[in-house]
Amino acid sequence: MKHYFFVNPAAGQGSGTDDLIAEIRRVCAQQDADFDIYITKGVGDGERRAGELARQLTEQGSHARFYACGGDGTLNEILCGAAGSGIPVGCIPTGTGNDMVRNFPGAGDFNDIKVQLLGRTEDIDLIWYAGVMDGVYRERYCANMFNIGFDCNVVELAGRLKKKPFIAGSAAYLLAVLGVFLQKKTIGLRLEEEGEVLLDDDVLLCSISNGSFCGGGIHTSPQSDVADGVFDLNIINDVSRLQFLKLFPKYKAGTHLEVPGVDKIIRVKTCTQLELTPKAGSFFLCADGEICVAESVRFEIRPGALPFILPSKN
């Protein structure tokens, strides 16, 4: 079996790439593992290369594992390239958010190359989605979470803040929350499930969650499970700034669903498919931390679609 490492040199504000590559080479040599390292050249390049390799390996009947070395966006590219091939995909989290791996608190150290090589696989769900995105019809997959409205605006601003010196990860996200909070824009959405209208209104935010975390550890969807065969729709109504300030600490900690009367503010529903149409004609859609401009989008759960590598505890 061959191990393919896809390294995003821009992850984690562009630091540590040389050390990571050296560690991969050292451990693979120590374990006598057949491996290859591919350094991605820009947005979409990892997905392109992973797709090429997946097709070649499938035709050859060869066994392999793919490792996304970067943040959640890098993982998204590699799993989209590998989707449908049956090739296990793992994550060595060198980004600033690294929210996908937070869904596996009982696993070993995702940054330990040796335990990654020795790791087991677990089939997890993916969310398939399709629609016109950035002016082109696309069909893609999401492993962790979609954010729309307030959360998406936060991710966009946090991405800009991360490019500034000494601001990274959760700090950038929390600063972005403050900045977007001062504006507090709503978004008009129509959501339908199998022809039933679930929402046709302006809301503060909407998330479609396979996993539980976003924004570098913000526990926005604590009830979600990446292997339960459904995704969770979370909607927060247009609330006052005072209500928001009171709720946010619990939202960050993942205890917001325990607040008395929260069902008047937050609506939670499990779904297997969903149609989303923006009232304004287009909207910002954040999928695994990456933002695009989308029109109407369809979402469907794909149970057990990805063999995900969990590092050994040894």
Segment 93-99 shows an average pLDDT of 91
CATH number at 246 reads: 2.60.200.40
- 68 plus 137 within the same structural domain: no
User: Quick one: pLDDT band at residue 164, thresholds 50, 70, 90?
Assistant: confident
Which residue is associated with the tokens 């129509």?
Answer: 190
CA dihedral 226, 47, 95, 26 (to 10 degrees): 100
Segment 73-98 shows an average pLDDT of 96
Segment 151-157 shows an average pLDDT of 82
Is 110 within a domain?
A: no
Segment 161-165 shows an average pLDDT of 73
Is 123 within a domain?
A: no
Does pLDDT of 313 surpass 90?
Answer: no
Domain range holding 56? 2-95
% of the chain exceeding 70 in pLDDT: 98
User: Quick one: pLDDT band at residue 97, thresholds 50, 70, 90?
Assistant: confident
Number of domains in the chain: 2
Instruction: Look at residues 165, 41, 3, 172 and name the one whose alpha carbon lies nearest to residue 96.
Output: 172
Q: Which domain-ending residue is among 71, 95, 119?
A: 95
Does pLDDT of 166 surpass 80?
Answer: no
Reported in sequence order, the residue ranges of 134-186 that DSSP labels E, i.e. its strands, are 136-142, 145-149
- 173 plus 290 within the same structural domain: yes
Question: In this structure, which amino acid lies at residue 199?
Answer: L
What is the per-residue pLDDT across 227-282, written as a single tens digit (0 to 9) for each?
A: 999 999 999 998 888 888 889 899 999 999 999 999 999 999 999 999 999 999 99
- 193 plus 251 within the same structural domain: yes
- 155 plus 263 within the same structural domain: yes
What is the per-residue pLDDT across 19-55, written as a single tens digit (0 to 9) for each?
A: 999 999 999 999 999 999 999 999 999 999 999 999 9
Instruction: Look at residues 122, 59, 159, 63 and name the one whose alpha carbon lies nearest to residue 305.
Output: 122
310/117 Cα distance (integer angstroms): 10
The mean of the pLDDT values for the chain is: 93
